[in-house]
Amino acid sequence: MASQSDTQSIEGAYAEPVLRAAGDSALLIAFGDRLDPAINNAAIAFDARLRAADITGVSETAPTIRSVLVRFDPLEIAPERLRGAVAELLAERDWLAAPPPARRSLWRIPACYGGEHGPDLDEIADLVGCSPAQAAERHAEARQRVFMLGFAPGVAYLGLLPEAWNIPRLKEIRPEMPAGSLLVAVRQTVLFAAAMPTGWRAIACTPFRSFDPRREPPVPIAPGDEIGFVPVDATEFAHLRERAENGESIVDQEELA
């Protein structure tokens, strides 16, 4: 177990996990209020612990960037009893010292930068302070972690990009960006699984679909996984998209030790 001083130095981490009722049928256990790998590891690890504990009356758990959601039937397990069981599990260890999940993957995902697939690349490069080609290269090479699946089915929150990428969101929500869009802001990338409006800037688009109801599970990537992008040109993009639509895999998946 790591010493308290180690984990208290994590910026944005709470000294103690905060347990709150979210309505009468859910609990939220938060480990901090920042986007931080250690806080995210705590959430992922505690989610796994809760699933292993298999508490009667709990219908599902889900990790987020910095917390764990526990949904339950309050007539099957009284909220007070569930809070007690959760507190016992929280006391088992220093969750902020938890390592990344044991079985996780590195995904290499094709992406076409700039042009119609990444209409904001030039503007992003200006904000980052480099050329568009450099911005595309640096974004693709950065190994980003999956912090959370949320917002909509299969939408992945990735990060953290280097400090130079701490660029603001747009002032206006823009109309629908297509499925596969890679959007950047505040050192993060969001991978869109379906066409949606957004307040973030589009740097690229991938022919890979992070949500596909034909697949089991419908969302293959998981929190804690890492992602690198492989730049492809528009011709290759069109070709890969066709293959993906036919149900072929167009990404590389490698187990991370």
Partner 1 sequence: MSAALEVVAAGPSLTVQDAGRPGLQRYGITQGGAMDAVAMAEGAVLLGQEPTLAAIEMAGFGGKFRACGGPLRIALTGAAMRARLDGQDQPWNTSLTLEPDALLEIGAADDGAYGYLHVGGGFATPEQIGSRSTHLRSAIGGLEGRALREGDQLPVGEDRGGRTGMVLPRGKRIGQREIRVLWGVQADAFSQDERERFLAIDFDMTTRRDRQGARLKPQGEPFHAESALTGVSDAVVLGDIQVPGDGLPVALLADRQPTGGYPRIATVISADLAALVQIPGHARFGFRLVEEEEALAALRAQRREIAELSRQMRALVRDPRDMGNLLAFNLVDGVISAREEETS
Query: Which positions touch partner 1 (CB under 8 A)?
Result: 12, 20-26, 28, 30, 33-35, 47, 59-67, 69, 71, 74-75, 78-79, 148-155, 157, 186, 193-194, 196, 211, 213, 217-219, 223
Q: Which is nearer to partner 1, 67 or 181 (CB)?
A: 67
Q: Tell me the closest approach of the beta carbon of residue 133 to partner 1, in angstroms.
A: 31
Q: Tell me the closest approach of the beta carbon of residue 239 to partner 1, in angstroms.
A: 24
Q: Which is nearer to partner 1, 34 or 138 (CB)?
A: 34
Q: Tell me the closest approach of the beta carbon of residue 214 to partner 1, in angstroms.
A: 9
Q: Which is nearer to partner 1, 12 or 115 (CB)?
A: 12
Cβ atoms of residues 53 and 89 within 8 Å: yes
Q: Which is nearer to partner 1, 48 or 230 (CB)?
A: 48
Q: In what order do the strands lie in the sheet with 13-21?
A: 13-21, 26-32, 67-72, 58-63
Q: Which is nearer to partner 1, 130 or 170 (CB)?
A: 170
26, 27, 68, 77, 192 from 81: Cα distances, Å: 13, 12, 18, 7, 39
Closest alpha carbon to 57 in 29, 30, 27:
27
Count of alpha carbons within 13 angstroms of residue 111, beta-carbon side:
30
Q: Which is nearer to partner 1, 73 or 233 (CB)?
A: 73
Q: Tell me the closest approach of the beta carbon of residue 167 to partner 1, in angstroms.
A: 14
Q: Tell me the closest approach of the beta carbon of residue 145 to partner 1, in angstroms.
A: 15
The dihedral region occupied by 54, where left means phi > 0, alpha psi between -120 and 50, and beta the remainder, is left
Q: Tell me the closest approach of the beta carbon of residue 50 to partner 1, in angstroms.
A: 11
Handedness of CA 80, 82, 85, 91 (dihedral sign): negative
